[in-house]
Structure 1
Amino acid sequence: MDALESSLLNGQWDSKLHTDLESRPAIAMLAKDVIDGKFREVLTSPWARAFFRASGLQDKSYEESFSWQLPSVTDETEKEFIQVILAVASLHAFIQANWTGPDLDIKPSEVIVDVMNPTLISNEVLDMKAVTELAYGGEPAYHLAQHATFLRLAQLIFALPYHHCISVCWWRLRTTIIHEQLLDEAVPLPTDAHDLLGSLLQTLTGDTGDRDLAGRLQLEQGRLEHIFCHDKVASDRFVQAARATGLQYELTGALGRRTKFQQNDLSQLVLLAESRKRDDSPAEAVPDDLADQSRTPVNVSNMTDSNLPVTLELNDDTLLEQTIFTSSAPSSTTSQLSHLDPVSQPPLHPLDQCILLSLCLNVRNMSPSHGLTSEQMLPYVARVISHPKNWSVHTMALLLRSRLESARTRTVERSVLQLQALVDQMPTADSPLPERLLYFHSIPLPSKWEMERELALRFLTLGVVKSALEIFERLEMWEEVVKCWQSMERTDKAVVIVRDLLKGRKEEAESVILRGKDLPSPQRGKLDSARQAKLWCLLGDLEPDNAVEHYERAWALSKETSGRAMRSLGGYYFARGEFEKVIPCLQRAVKINPLLSRSWFILGCAYIRLENWEGARDSFSRCVSIDDEDGESWNNLASMYLRLDSFQNISESDVNGEDQPSKAQSFSNRTLAFRALKQGLKYSYDNWRMWTNYMIVAVDVGELSEACRALARIVEERSAKTGAECVDEEVLERLVNAVTRVPAGFSQSAGDDDRRRDDVNNPNEGHGLSRRVLDLFDRTILPRVSSPRIFRAYARLLTWQSRWEDALKAYLDWYRCSMAGTFEKGETDVEKWREAVNEVEDVMDVLRNFGPRVQGINWRHQGRSIVRTFMGRSKDFEDEAEWSRLIELQSELRTEE
């Protein structure tokens, strides 16, 4: 890669570029101005004046208006370099205006020259046109984004053909990430959009490549996957980025204290991390003040560096500002990090800090929703906050800490105040712009409006609705405004706001619609169609009686590009049970934006109601591919495989005239159902219904070990409420059958060793299953519930093990719970009595078989007692023929004695 391209990507001027200053000084100085944040000088340079000449911008799109000519440059390589430099300047100018601050000192009207209209078009019209063109995939772009023209210009320049600058594909990736953050919802990209990144990464990871650049690229690719909720792919990218930069890290434990009154040291989570040693350079060298602090704990709250964001103190009467580690050695770690002291770790390179923050995001994405998630994330954030080295990176770390602390009572106050401080610092010039942009593309820093929106949502969680409402109205986020009024049960007020917007009586009408009066009316309609479509959808949500009309109007107004309109209409029909109408609406919606799992889920449910099992299967498959933590979708997907299994069996039977289905196909569907449920249970561990489905399917496919585990979970979850009903006794008996059908002992005949090995190792049969089934009885079922069938199944298992005394006890427990053992005087049901007589005979057979094998038990006396007690309770049935059988039992027991 050319050194000039590398410097632009890094955001740092390479000292090796002195040759470029001699050979092509004008281009090199232009690039240096971009790196230094002097966008006004770059975008008003003679090359920019020539390049940004438009023709008929009022009536044409941006793409049609520019010819992108540099008549004074004949060398194609130099021309491409200049194009890239101007595009980077435009992109970073947009980022400065909307992300990093401080306020931008140049406007689009100072850059663009329309040769057909020497009188410059206003900045408002230019930005409005750009916002309209930035709408993509049916999702509108945020209409109050400042100077959106610069982003649109960067998009178009990077879209030009390039043959010499290999870094263009990377800049396209960066532009795409910014564009995605501008849209209301993430929208998928063309599959070939970033194919060139693979070859570029190979170049960077080669023997002569730049390790830090390779790490940056993989980190940014992971960021894009994170936006699309592809968590596993993002995780792999972040780990690869750490390997590329040489970052070593490990989450472990060390003794320490977290509260002021804690007397005993307890194990605390700590992240050990160390950057690789880099060549000393002005940009990478550790500052002297930080180097002095590298072996001592840093209290960031007391730092007074004016170039860093304000870090607020906790000021809590119980919690310490930060964990104080009292051990100089971690509890367990790898050999590479064993030399690190948890009390005083060395500062990390800012790029490695970016990777840790991304890995921290990955902890949130890849973990179930429980308390351990925040506890795992805090050490990542604390490791970055402990040694602040860059404005943007430190801002992101403080933002993540604020999010983590928002759910805890003792930290929620600092959480809100810290977020407010981060919002307030954006327009200030407390740090130089190049520093703010240096690692911007490597962190998921939200835009100004997103950060303010987050603050407003935080206010809502605290019940400060009025302050939240003021922020939403200032940001013109009307959907959130409507939700605020609905939360206050003022739907009428919300309706008035939306209707005023549509009629041009509110501020957005002035900023979006009225400003377009200078343009012909067709163009004006095009500019605000996406926003108007969304407003009509909001009105449809607020007025259910006219919802269909409003949603269809939004669909027509957007020229059939509004996914929101079709999602809302499909949801409306679904709520009213009109499932035939749901499917075409949601099919259009997912075609426009296939990344929204909720649309796929409702579509799948509609298919289920219409018994279209294949359509439902495909829909739920898309749900879990988008969000693999959606346990409900995994459960529904498994159900669809089972439905397809039954449907295919019936179809094949009809076609072939046979009763036997295709066993291979049937087993395949059931196996897929089993795997789907197994995956879904990772994220719905407490859902007993899913465990029940899993148990039944596991038995069906022969995974009896998993069926045993599932039955245990069901009993744990439901025994307190439903008692013995929570035990599927048929499944329990099948588990016992699977164990007992294998001989308990083995002969020494030939081939017996192989059979014994299989019986011991097979977890679904015989000895391999016996321990799990015994644990199921001893640890889970019997301490909680009991029933005759449970005790009888338990007794059979003990008999197989030749545990005669325990087996006899289990059979006697069965009898006590059985109909005979609970028979009461005054019972008049003769059929019930006859069944009880059979049970008395059964228990007598058990006593005869097991009694002689158990020492110290008078089984005959116990048998006589059982028969005598039963006969005493059922004297009303002395005239029945079966009464003689009881007399016989008494006689036999006396004779045997």
Structure 2
Amino acid sequence: MIRARVLSFLDWTNDADKALAKRRAFLVMAVGIAALLSFWQINVTGPCVDFPSCQKFLINHDNLCVSEAECNKWAVKQLMLDGCDLAGLCSLPQYLILAKILLVDILDAAQGKSSLKEILPVTISWWSRRALIANQSILAERSPSLCTSLMALKPEGFGLSWGTDLNAELVQIIEGALQLEYGFIEYAFGHVDQANFRFNAAREVCGLEISLTGMLGFRTAHQIDPKAQMVLIARTSSDANELLEKDIEKSSTVSMSKDGKLDADTEEDILMLPRLVSAEDRKPKMTGNQLNSFQQAVVLAQCLHVKKSNPDDEMRGWQMAPFIEAVDSQESSHFLIKRCSQLLRIRWECTRSRTKQRALLMLDKLVEDIRGTAVYGVQERMCFAFCLQFPPLSSLRKELAEMMVSCGLVGEALQTFEELELWNSLIDCYCLLGKKAVVLDLIKERLKEQPDDPRLWCAMGDVTFNEDCYEKAWEVSKHRFGRAQRSLGRSAYNKAEYSKSMQHWQAALTLNPLHSDGWFALGSAALKARDLDKAVDAFTRAVQLDPENGEAWNNIAAIHMTRKKSKEAFVAFKEALKFKRTSWQMWENYAQVSLDVHNIAQAIEAVNMVLDLSQGKRIMVDTLDKLMDEVEALNKANSNEQSINPSVRLENGSTDLEKGAMVNESSNQPSLPTTKDAATIVNQATENEWLLARVGKLLSRVVQISPTSAAWGLLARWHKVKGDSMMRGEALLKQVRSLQGSDWQHNKEHFKELSQVALQLSDVYMETSSKTGYKKDLYSVQMLLRNLIKQGEQFSDEEYHAAVVKCLSDVEQTIRYLK
């Protein structure tokens, strides 16, 4: 094996010439770097040219004849770590195997051999990380073994002295590139906060300050009036500006013109870049400074963080747009930086119906640019190759084919899926065309050539719905292909065999515990099997790996809600709603747990969202009733505090209840309250007033949407808390009229409800009449009570009937008194 030969080549224990050993170690690293860059060129940066095979370095025996196809097949199996499938068929995988042997394996061997560690270049750990992340980039799933290896390789170079041969500008770029690369490693495994820390460190190194602001501008060619546009403002240091001039000379990629048009003509009237205007004179306006190439890479990294830290909705694309447009507006950009910015734009525009066709054309041109051999050389393409989150060519072609399918070009996508050996996508396309038998024949032909390929056996199972095919895939992979167990788990779940499904998912997750969808599926099976502890653990692992999984957060919250753990449910629902804001069911549950933890503000927001999303069809009467209970309790507690501290007075004139403004000052003269600080009491009381105003708006909205008796009763309670007897009386009167439409004469519960409201209305009218002397309302409630007594004679034995009789006597006495 080449690994043993290289270690023998580097063994200098019997040789006193350490300098020669160091030169040998540098030579080994250089060959490893060459192999890695060759693989990266043919699969990521382009141009795609013919490379000689390196199978002679990898075969076990010198006299063994192995074809290049067999060598590639062997190399692919070596790269499919932890049962992970490939994202698409890659080219020359043997080069990556050679790079990993010469870089990663040699570095691992040096950990237990001090003599070897002494002669290895310091930067071999940097190139080893690049080789490992290259391996991860071609996999469809996160590999736990690669994650462990990458996290074990601490970032070298943050505190190193780079000598005198490198100038300060180049050292700055190297240190910033190191931060970016390590940030993308964290990003690849879902460590969003750690990645953002590295991205910010890179931004500080290059002297870049960025901020978002709003400016007037035009988005379409035929737009008449300018609208507010979100724009990124970038400010750079003087040193960075000096580096920019040199960078422009080296870069040969020209950006879009400043009027926002593409290099290639398109028919869309939507501008690529917003045409900004000055707010004063409505003239074109430039934003920010020109950036050097490394600063542009930092801006794109910040754009990815915006994508990862926001929910997947329509707004996320617009939040990313200023970063993309900031790079597109540059006078010059390196090849891969420009292509990375274009890819982010394509993924954004393909979600909008008006720009979807343009996105398809741009992606097709992008793939051709990467594969093409003209215009851009290898050296320029390789600049910043590891400082950007740019996918391999196979992933780009897969994305192009999927976009073709979404545009109805299914036939065009078939050839690409077949070339990349993406059998699942190929099956879906043939099913859309109604040609399921064609893909079945194709898979059978491939199985004759490759009978030990587990991916083909799983594809056969997907077509025939035969579990034996998945078992065969598990067998030929020697129990290393996790996708086979995942397919068995899905099949068992669909048959309602939840315990069996859990077993298959656990087997798959044993191979690859970083598969977030697998943990979610395990949690779903456990939930169906009523194993709530297992379900919570599985869903928790899912959100740890993928914090954007709103469904997993929702399931965690639902389980806690079932177990009456309101605090835990509140936190989980809050996370879930960051990513699934259009589910009224989720908002409804969130309103309930918000009240359980006495968070009135969140409950109000949740109820409003339910009304919005259900278009007023979901009126949460029970939740609103509980909300009023909380408001009444708060009001009572606030009254008690003020009675205990008579020196505290609220200045309502300085409080903006409608906008929710908070008052942070107490009265002018200091006091010595017996329980709490006066300012604290004032702030609490003001917050309660603000909440009360919001509840009033909510209840007013409810009675407009659904003027039921329950809604009017809730509004009456709110007016009672506010101390507005007149408005409370109006609400109670409308509640009475609503209840009079029911069969209260024959229904005991309805008669009781109407009687209770009538009693409240009588109390309000007697109170206001005694103050104003106005008797008309008393006459109307007198007639109401008499009618209740007369038509409710069958309920004369009930306690509330007697209460109505007594109330009528009180009303009549009040009328006589006023006369």
**Structure-2-length-normalised TM-score:** 0.84
Name the CA distance, whole Å, in 1 between partners of 2:381 and 2:604: 57
**What residue is the counterpart of 1:541 in the other structure?**
462
Aligned-partner residue type, residue 324 of structure 1:
R
**What residue is the counterpart of 2:416 in the other structure?**
471
Query: Is the contact made by 1:101 and 1:428 (CA closer than 8 Å) also made in structure 2?
Result: yes
> How many percent of aligned residue pairs carry the same amino acid?
25
Q: SS where residue 246 of structure 2 aligns?
A: coil
Query: Is the contact made by 2:220 and 2:271 (CA closer than 8 Å) also made in structure 1?
Result: yes
Does residue 358 of structure 1 match 2:301? Answer: yes
**What residue is the counterpart of 1:305 in the other structure?**
none
- 1:862 aligned residue (757, 776, 780): 780
Name the CA distance, whole Å, in 2 between partners of 1:726 and 1:497: 59
- 2:9 aligned residue (48, 69, 75): 69
Does residue 177 of structure 1 match 2:133? Answer: yes
Q: SS where residue 379 of structure 2 aligns?
A: helix
Name the CA distance, whole Å, in 1 between partners of 2:578 and 2:706: 26
Are the structure 2 counterparts of residues 762 and 838 from structure 1 closer, same or farther at C-alpha, using a change threshold of 3 Å?
A: closer
Aligned-partner residue type, residue 637 of structure 2:
V
Task: Report matched runs for 1:569-588 at 5 Å.
Answer: 569-588=488-507
Q: SS where residue 742 of structure 1 aligns?
A: helix
Are the structure 2 counterparts of residues 249 and 576 from structure 1 closer, same or farther at C-alpha, using a change threshold of 3 Å?
A: same
Q: SS where residue 262 of structure 1 aligns?
A: coil
Q: SS where residue 228 of structure 2 aligns?
A: strand
**What residue is the counterpart of 1:420 in the other structure?**
364
Name the CA distance, whole Å, in 2 between partners of 1:383 and 1:726: 49
Per-residue displacement from partner, 1:627-683 (whole Å, max 9, x unpaired)? 22222211211233345x56xxxxxxxxxxxxxxxxxxxxxx532222111121222
**What residue is the counterpart of 1:692 in the other structure?**
588
Name the CA distance, whole Å, in 1 between partners of 2:775 and 2:128: 86
Q: SS where residue 201 of structure 1 aligns?
A: coil
Does residue 200 of structure 1 match 2:157? Answer: yes
Are the structure 2 counterparts of residues 785 and 761 from structure 1 closer, same or farther at C-alpha, using a change threshold of 3 Å?
A: farther
- 1:483 aligned residue (415, 423, 428): 428
- 1:670 aligned residue (542, 547, 566): 566
Aligned-pair Cα RMSD in Å: 3.8
Q: How many pairs were matched up?
A: 764
Q: SS where residue 514 of structure 2 aligns?
A: coil
Does residue 102 of structure 1 match 2:54? Answer: no
Does residue 553 of structure 1 match 2:448? Answer: no
Aligned-partner residue type, residue 349 of structure 1:
N
Name the CA distance, whole Å, in 2 between partners of 1:892 and 1:570: 78
The alpha carbon displacement at 1:437 in A equals 0.8
Q: SS where residue 627 of structure 2 aligns?
A: helix
Q: SS where residue 122 of structure 2 aligns?
A: coil
Query: Is the contact made by 1:330 and 1:342 (CA closer than 8 Å) also made in structure 2?
Result: no
Name the CA distance, whole Å, in 1 between partners of 2:294 and 2:547: 29
Are the structure 2 counterparts of residues 785 and 500 from structure 1 closer, same or farther at C-alpha, using a change threshold of 3 Å?
A: same
The alpha carbon displacement at 1:90 in A equals 0.8
Name the CA distance, whole Å, in 2 between partners of 1:113 and 1:670: 59
Does residue 323 of structure 1 match 2:274? Answer: yes
Query: Is the contact made by 2:125 and 2:153 (CA closer than 8 Å) also made in structure 1?
Result: yes
Query: Is the contact made by 2:260 and 2:274 (CA closer than 8 Å) also made in structure 1?
Result: no
Q: SS where residue 275 of structure 2 aligns?
A: strand
**What residue is the counterpart of 1:375 in the other structure?**
318
Q: SS where residue 157 of structure 2 aligns?
A: helix
Does residue 400 of structure 1 match 2:344? Answer: yes
Aligned-partner residue type, residue 423 of structure 1:
V
Per-residue displacement from partner, 1:473-524 (whole Å, max 9, x unpaired)? 23332221111112223333332222222122xxxx4xxx7xxxxxxxxxxx
Q: SS where residue 332 of structure 2 aligns?
A: coil
Query: Is the contact made by 1:142 and 1:182 (CA closer than 8 Å) also made in structure 2?
Result: yes
Query: Is the contact made by 1:257 and 1:265 (CA closer than 8 Å) also made in structure 2?
Result: yes
Query: Is the contact made by 1:260 and 1:320 (CA closer than 8 Å) also made in structure 2?
Result: yes
- 2:36 aligned residue (91, 105, 119): 91
Name the CA distance, whole Å, in 2 between partners of 1:293 and 1:855: 85
The alpha carbon displacement at 1:330 in A equals 13
**What residue is the counterpart of 1:712 in the other structure?**
608
The alpha carbon displacement at 1:171 in A equals 1.2
Name the CA distance, whole Å, in 1 between partners of 2:590 and 2:517: 24
Does residue 217 of structure 1 match 2:178? Answer: yes
The alpha carbon displacement at 1:581 in A equals 0.8
Task: Report matched runs for 1:160-559 at 5 Å.
Answer: 160=106, 161=110, 162-163=117-118, 164-188=120-144, 189-191=146-148, 193-198=150-155, 200-203=157-160, 210-278=171-239, 285-287=246-248, 298=258, 311-316=263-268, 318-320=269-271, 322-327=273-278, 342-343=285-286, 346-386=289-329, 387-425=331-369, 426-504=371-449, 509=450, 529=452, 532-544=453-465, 546-547=466-467, 549-559=468-478
Are the structure 2 counterparts of residues 141 and 372 from structure 1 closer, same or farther at C-alpha, using a change threshold of 3 Å?
A: closer
Q: Which moved more, 1:392-401 or 1:136-145?
A: 136-145
Aligned-partner residue type, residue 356 of structure 1:
V
Unmatched 5+ stretches in structure 1: 1-53, 55-61, 303-310, 332-340, 514-528, 647-668
The alpha carbon displacement at 1:613 in A equals 2.1
Query: Is the contact made by 1:867 and 1:890 (CA closer than 8 Å) also made in structure 2?
Result: no
Aligned-partner residue type, residue 758 of structure 2:
V
Are the structure 2 counterparts of residues 328 and 391 from structure 1 closer, same or farther at C-alpha, using a change threshold of 3 Å?
A: farther
Does residue 736 of structure 1 match 2:631? Answer: yes
**What residue is the counterpart of 2:651 in the other structure?**
none
Q: Which moved more, 1:470-479 or 1:832-841?
A: 832-841
The alpha carbon displacement at 1:767 in A equals 4.8
Task: Report matched runs for 1:25-36 at 5 Å.
Answer: none
Task: Report matched runs for 1:751-762 at 5 Å.
Answer: 751=673, 754=676, 757-762=679-684
Q: SS where residue 686 of structure 1 aligns?
A: coil
Per-residue displacement from partner, 1:793-827 (whole Å, max 9, x unpaired)? 43334333332222222332332233xx33569x4
The alpha carbon displacement at 1:686 in A equals 2.7
